[in-house]
Amino acid sequence: MGEGRQSLGPVRIVVADDHAIWRTGLKEDLGDNFLVVGEASDATEAIDVVKRTKPNLVLTDLHMPGGGGVAVAKAVAGDVPVVMLTVSEAERDLLEAVAAGAVGYLLKSIDADELRRQLWRAAQGEPVFSASLAALVLTEFRRLRKQAPDGEGISDREREVLQLVARGHTYGEIGEELHISAKTVENHVRNILKKLRLNRKNELIRYAIDHGIE
């Protein structure tokens, strides 16, 4: 994942969604600070467009033909921040997408101001962590701890940060509450994401070994 952009000027963004009306609507909402350099209507096309146009940010629908946002995140999240768009927060796919490297997700009903703000932050390399995603990740780590009590979990501090996000606090508020800087809060969140990915990878390896898949 890129650690933020070097150049100033508009964020070069690729928008992937299988509904054209969404892409048009999003383009209108993005405003002058974003430049849509490519569009795609399925995962394969999206990966292709991203590789070709080398954007600063990818905004992709979670559910699309060709493997959806998860496939996109798997393929390109190493080079560019990927943000998921979804209508529902109650889906396991979402966790899958984040574990695959997405920096976060936004609900499709988000208002235009908030959309621009969050995407701008994502383009600077910040994780876009909503309250629901934090709760989803907390639940996942609880599950992991029950399954493997001595596996690598999150620290008490990381849990605290995550719960404060789930309770609707901003990074600034969390920093104030815990007497740390907002930047440190952000680092905690990034570490949590890293651990989530690592755990997912380990789980896949364990599964493969248990089922005799080489």
Partner 1 sequence: MTIPPAAAIGPSTSTSTAASDAVLVTSMIRALAVFRWVTLGGAVIGVILGRSALVEPVAAVVLLGAATGLTGYLYLLGRRRPTELVRWSWLALEVGLGLTLLVADGLVFSDERAQSLPWAWPAAGIAAVGIAAAGRGSSPLLDHAGLLVAVVVGTVSVLSEIVLLGRFSGPDQIGVLFSKIGLWLLVGLLVGPLMRRLLRAERLISVAKAREELARELHDGVLQTLAVVQRRSDDPDLAALARDQENSLRTYLSDDRLIGAAAAPSGRLGEAAVDEAGAGLASMEVTGGLDAVLRRVATDAERRHRLKTQVVVAADCPPLSPAATVAVAGAVTEAVTNAAKHGAAERVTIFAEPNEGDDGATVFVSVHDNGSGFVVDGIIEGIGLSRSIRGRISEQGGRVEIASRPGKGTEVKLWVKADSRWDR
Q: Which residues bind partner 1 (CB under 8 A)?
A: 19, 21-22, 25, 29, 63, 87-88, 90, 107-112, 131-132, 134-136, 138-139, 142-143, 159, 163, 166-169, 173
- Least distance in angstroms from the C-beta of 1 to partner 1: 25
Q: Which amino acid is at 151?
A: G
CB of 167 to partner 1, least distance (A): 5
If the CB atoms of residues 159 and 197 are measured against partner 1, the closer one turns out to be 159
Minimum CB separation of residue 150 from partner 1 in Å reads: 17
Of 75 and 133, which CB lies nearer to partner 1 in the complex structure?
Answer: 133
Q: Which is nearer to partner 1, 5 or 63 (CB)?
A: 63
In sequence order, what are the beta bridge partners of 36?
A: 13
Pairwise CA distance, residues 57 & 65, whole Å: 21
Nearer to partner 1, 136 or 192 (CB): 136
Write the CA distances from 160 to 24, 98, 150, integer angstroms. 39, 20, 20
Task: Count Cβ atoms below 10 Å from residue 59 Cβ, excluding itself.
Answer: 26
Q: How far is the CB of 209 from partner 1 (least distance, A)?
A: 27
Q: For residue 151, count other CB atoms closer than 10 A to its CB.
A: 14
- Closest CB to partner 1 among residues 50, 60: 60
Report the nearest approach of partner 1 to the CB of residue 63 (Å): 7
